[in-house]
A = this chain, B = another copy of it.
Amino acid sequence: MSAAVDTGERILDAAAELIATHGYAATTTRAIAERAGVNEVTLFRRFESKRGVLKALGERMARRQAGRAAEHVAPSEDTHATLLAFARMEIEGALADNGLAMRLAYDARSVSEVGEALGAGAGANLSGLAEFMRERQEAGQLRADIDPRVMAEAFFGLTSSYVIMRTVLGLGEAPVDVSTDSGIEQLFDLFWSGASATKER
């Protein structure tokens, strides 16, 4: 059974890598199978169709994302620490799968099945974050003269562009260890200085 599970996982791994770099449309089932070290027929037997692979991949991503969130972001009174931890988690997750999520978000626009496999994804994330910002505004920890959605957008832009620059544009180097990278800290500091209620630096 374990070999059977492995086969499926290996196929998903291969699909993830290929889609992250080439996009969904340009990733062929043959290439996925080859990279997974598996016969192409096996792919179809396990996932029925290319679309099926995508769907399974989407579900696995959602599972992992949820796991990471539960593991790393402890809800805390300390807004600064919470947001910084959240930023690191987002960046780490996105870098780990080589920008796959962002790439799929792109593809969702043109390939409808990608959107279906991905679910609400980014949109839900953004409004959840905006809600958090609003709470912290009311608690007096974030400046109140900025729309919380704008704040969430700025935060999301910070993390996503960090990833895009390194995975897509090839600018800058991906940090060896996200949890200690000072570049992220500086980037976040910039955001925090602009967004926090206190003016001190």
Contacts and interface: CB of A to CB of B under 8 A. Distances in A.
**Max count, chain B CB within 10 A of own CB: residue among A162, A169, A200, A201:** A169
Contacts of A191: 154, 190, 194
A122 B169 contact: yes
A150 B106 contact: no
A164 B160 contact: yes
Interface stretch (A20-28, A48-56, A72-80): A20-28
Nearest to A151: B190
**Max count, chain B CB within 10 A of own CB: residue among A23, A158, A162:** A23
Task: List the number of copies, as a whole number.
Answer: 2
Contacts of A192: 194
A195 to B, nearest CB: 6
A62 interface: no
A196 B12 CA distance: 46
Interface in A86-114: 103, 105-107, 109-111
B187 A154 contact: yes
Given A23-B25, A156-B161, 5 more contacts: A109-B168, A126-B171, A146-B186, A193-B195, A194-B194
